[in-house]
Amino acid sequence: MGDLVLDRLGWAYIGLDVAWTVALICGMGFLYYHCELPCIRIRRLPILFLGIIPLHIYGFVCVIGYVLGALVPCQAMFWIMSIYLPFGIAMFQTANSQFLHVASRQKQFAHLSLHSDQAPLKQEEAERLSSSHWRRILHGVDRADKIENMIVYIFIGLAVQLAITFIVFFGSKKFHPSYGLWDWNTRPSAPELVGMECSKGWEWWLSIAWQFFWAWIYAPYMLFKSRGINDVHGWRLQTICCCIVGLPASPMWLAGLYAPGMAPVNMYFIPPMWFSGTQTSLNLRSREAFHVVLLFTNPRLVCIFFMELITIGFPIFEIFRTHKLRQETLDTIAAWEKRQEFASPTGTNLSSDCSTKQSTANSSKSFPIKEAHSASRKSIDSQRSDLYTMAGLENALRTNAVPLLQFAALRDFSGENISFLTHLADWRRTWLHLTVSNAQHSRQQFIAAVSIYAHFVSPSISEFPINISHANMAALRDLFEEAASRIFRKRSIASSYSPTPFEEVSPDSGSTVGLRSGISLDVLGRANLNSVPNMTRGGYEDALTAHPIPEAFKETVFDAAEKEIKYLVLTNTWPKFINDAYSSSQADSGEVKERQDQNWTKKTILCASSNENFVVPLSHDPRLIPARLHTFILTHRNAMEKNLAEQPSLGGRPARNASIRKPLACGLILLGAVSFFSHSYVSDFVTRPRPSGAPISSARCPQASRLVPSKSTKELHEAWEYLNSDAFFNKSIEHLSGAVKIPTQSYDDMGEVGVDPRWDVFHSFASYLEETFPLVYKTLDVEKVNTHGLLFTWKGTDAALKPTVLMAHQDVVPVPDSTVNQWTHPPFSGHWDGKFVWGRGSSDCKNQLLGILEAVDTLINAGFQPRRTLVLSFGFDEEISGMQGANNLAKKLIKRYGHGGAAIIVDEGAANFEGWGANWAIPGVGEKGYVDVIVTVRMPGGHSSIPPAHNGIGVAAELISRIEANPYEPLLDESNPYLSLLYCGAEHAPEFPKTLKHLLKKRARQTCSKKGHKDELALEAAKAGPEIKYLFTTSQAVDLINGGVKTNALPERTTFTINHRVNIGSSVDAVLVHMAQLFTPLAKKHNLTLNAFNNVTETPSSITLTTRPEHLEPAPVTPTGPGTPFSILSGTTRALYGEDLYVAPGLMTANTDTRYYWGLSDHIFRYSMGWDREQEGLGRIHTVDEKIGGKAHSDVSKWVFGFVRNMDEADL
């Protein structure tokens, strides 16, 4: 043992080691910082880091071998070279194997794309779904990660080698001369060669075998297997370089040990560079130069250095390339948006790489190849920018996703994104085609959604989980993780493809599921069995019968994730696909010719190559092109399957790039043409939500036909005539007038029911109802919930049908004594002047409550017996948040019918109105959120004769001024129903503003996130006035303020309350963050502590922000597509009021009792059914002179009469 050698050369080695290590750490940190990028996620950084850290430590020690000198004994060298170095090499090659593993596993997505059927699910096929079908669909998700298996096998092998090394070490006399069993036959010729001689002998054979296996057997194997892979990440090149640079190390090390000519070199640089401290006759300068030369020519060190440089450098380069590509794509889209107009371009030829001039139908002359390519290239640049847009991407996904899916899986290694989008689209189609909705179908939909989650989202189950935000991931995990854990085995998504180092098993092309059964509810009908989940024993039965469906589960659960993935594909995979297709189309030669197909009468374009044919018919009607192209794709599926089959397996022949590039190029150009000519050009990703799977049409606001009950009797016909008679009209007015006379006022400070005597007036109102509608009380089951809540149940004959729920509330807003004299007629007189009923509650909403009961009473008198149960739920404290009334009523109904147990809920809400030259009904399908922020300013008191510059009230005033100076920006989120109303107005209203129409068109062309930009459409729409503005703007209003107790005393505590109505697309948390940021500068200015929503008790000299406990997030938006209850409501409304009334989704700025019913149904509407065209406004609700027209009130009963019967006949 000797001392450290710390001369100039030694310090140089130390400096080199430190610089090398710091650079490596910085590179690893940079990769970790960008770990969410797709090109980095697929590399699995933990495996990558584990592959280079052991080798770096080995190289680190090698570099300072000169410094260590003789400090490292032969025994240590033996152990490190026998155990540590082989382990490091094995882990490095394991990291390289991730490339083959990902390529192999991604190939399943391309294979599945050719065994898919995108036809909509037919109802009879949905009804044939059985548990046996599901057992096949949910078969075998057993993902045993092969990379992890490799690590396990490495450790097993390492344990075996450790045992052998242990025996050799203690049994060899080389290391233990006193008790060793084997002689050391080789004797050192000189003391300075002890280290060299230590490295010789049979004791090292096992280490040499390990090194040769990984460097000279496994590395060439990987080179062989990777020859057919052509990825766009440079990952294959990285793997090849790593394999090649590792080849010289072991042979050169052996040469250094055993070649006599290496003896002079070894005196100063023994192969591992651990023993070089022996002094020689060389002077210091010569020795330093000799060491430096040897350092940079030593094969093992050079190999390790380049291995690390390649392993870290290639991904870093790819990160910069990804950012550049994304920015170029966004710049291209932005430039395109500036050039284009919303209208579909006219006069544009359907030109592409497969283009031709249109001639007469009888012409058979071939179009010259050179001319075709010349014509196509002229149109490429103009069409290429169009294809970069979200519209181009969505047309590709909608019309033929196979080329994009193949490219994503085989070259970009992101097949899970495209597969997720296509499977999600299939799943959504089933919601439309399952016209008969029952518990079994709902559960099948849920299990199908769980399958999507397990395959593409769950980090614990999916092999390639999609890259979505933590918030969206958490939301989906809360919904599905428990069910997925019960149904699927953890970390168990499997495929038949075996990754390196095991031989790959070729997929069975015939192993497909339900090729002719439509999409089927499994959502994986386009998958083969080898990639479908494996259920635990009894998992399917357990899932279908035992696992509850979460309350929040609905058709839109994946919407946020879909938006993120679409944007990711748009800025990552899609531009690569376009660029590759265009470069391929320009590089490859093709033959363009015309032919007349016997099955088509239209002329066709034939884009041909030696291996494949792609045909699409030309049509003068551009709307037919997508359907025709889809027909062609299905017709030529066998040809595309052949193309995929010709792609080599990872161990097959080299890929013929042209065989895949030409189909990709032709498919892309055709899709580009579709984008130009199709009325569906505008991306539905940036339009309002529509029912998934609905046919894409230029009409953004389809109107339901008038819906009249088909089943009628003489009695029902007479009942309808009675509802339209003067006798009913007069009786209805009398009923409403009597109800208004009962002052059922609810106050903010009401105590508990049974304690506060102000509740007692509701006893009188209940008695009035029972006296007025004795037949209703006799026929329906009547329950009183929390004393005053009224729950009527008219049981239907078919228990399988979900009930209809109609709502209203009994209470009214109080009338302040100071305003009584301002009323034209006394507020509780119920005065009828021949046109209006006057009084508090006449339009909010005793009219609706009475109208519902009158309609039910009329139905009973007509002998009507419902199939579908009808529930009437009347709360009594809606005006003060509904906590004691609607809250308890909803709980009772949810307990009785279960989550999602009601088919539809209709409560009070928006009224019909005239606007933009048309008549509109806008039933509310959503509500804004609600939060009250209480601000408390604490400042020192004192005598007002010696005031400070700012006291508590002054600071509060400054805070209020800052609030009002910083209102929320208008923002029309894609899910906001008002956006749908604008589209309806643009389509149907003759006086719709041209500026809004232009901005709608511009918005429809928007293809990427505009976060941080002002919403031009919202700003323009807001000019219509505050009533419109706050349909898509978070409102803030300081409603309460209190401070000071005496005129000559400074206020020590000042409070004010800010009421917020939270916009759709925002959240309560966003409001709280906004408030905290708004007040921070003022708190610093006045040297006050800001306690913002941190549950800290008020402190002296502070500003404290708190919220009331009853805050509420924006309500879920009700779906409004065809086949949903919205169509029943719309058809009923248009049947009563005429087809010149357009029905569009609406939004409530205030909150109704429905806030407690979210769990009972996904189909909640807030709608005032009555309409008097001569009455303007909302009947002055909540203010002086509240009133309602007699016709509007009587029409409520007519609407309910028809709606109950229409719902009774609907299969929902």
Q: Is the peptide bond before 501 cis (omega within 30 degrees of 0)?
A: yes
Any idea what DSSP says for residue 823? -
Pick from 852, 754, 749: nearest CA to 810: 852
Which letter, b or e, does each residue of 233-269 get, where b requires 16 or more Cβ atoms within 10 Å of its Cβ?
Answer: bebbebbbbbbebbbebbebbbebbeeeebeebbbbb
Structure tokens at 1146: 């609406």
Neighbours of 708 (CB within 10 A): 13
Catalytic hit among 125, 353, 580, 811: 811
811 is catalytic: yes
Any idea what DSSP says for residue 911? P
Structure tokens at 1021: 């729409």
Pick from 22, 48, 21: nearest CA to 34: 48
Q: Kindly write down the DSSP assignment for every residue of 527-595, as one continuous string.
A: S-GGGSPPBPTTHHHHHHHTSPPPTT-STTTTHHHHHHHHHHHHHTHHHHHHHHHHHHHHHS--EEEEE
Amino acid at 207: S
Structure tokens at 626: 């997508």
Length of the chain as a residue count? 1212
The residue written with tokens 């003489």 in the block is 714
Q: Could you tell me which residues come within 8 angstroms of residue 452 by beta carbon, excluding any fewer than 6 positions away?
A: 420, 423, 424, 427, 523, 558
**Phi/psi at 650 (5° precision):** -65, -15
The residue written with tokens 């709902």 in the block is 442
Pick from 393, 397, 534: nearest CA to 461: 534
Catalytic hit among 416, 559, 877, 878: 878
Pick from 1082, 515, 481: nearest CA to 1092: 1082
Pick from 701, 697, 511, 742: nearest CA to 1142: 701
878 is catalytic: yes
Our measurement of the distance from residue 52's CA atom to the centroid of its chain's CA atoms, rounded to an integer in Å, reads: 35
Our measurement of the distance from residue 304's CA atom to the centroid of its chain's CA atoms, rounded to an integer in Å, reads: 42
Which letter, b or e, does each residue of 333-347 get, where b requires 16 or more Cβ atoms within 10 Å of its Cβ?
Answer: beebeeeeeeebeee
Mark residue 701 as left, alpha or beta (left: phi above 0; alpha: psi -120 to 50; beta: remaining).
Answer: beta
Point out which residues pair with 607 in neighbouring strands: 592, 614
Amino acid at 718: E
Strands 1102-1107 and 1053-1062: unpaired
Structure tokens at 236: 């294959």
- For residues 315 and 311, give the distance between their C-alpha atoms in angstroms, rounded to a whole number: 7
- For residues 124 and 88, give the distance between their C-alpha atoms in angstroms, rounded to a whole number: 59
Point out which residues pair with 328 in neighbouring strands: none
Structure tokens at 855: 């309609």
CB contact at 8 A, 499 and 146: yes
Strands 804-809 and 870-875: parallel
Sheet holding 1146-1148, edge to edge: 781-785, 789-794, 870-875, 804-809, 904-910, 1164-1167, 924-927, 1146-1148
CB contact at 8 A, 1008 and 574: no
Q: Could you tell me which residues come within 8 angstroms of residue 407 by beta carbon, excluding any fewer than 6 positions away?
A: 573, 576, 577, 580, 660, 664
**Phi/psi at 641 (5° precision):** -60, -40
Pick from 240, 248, 288: nearest CA to 7: 288
Active centre residues (catalytic): 811, 878
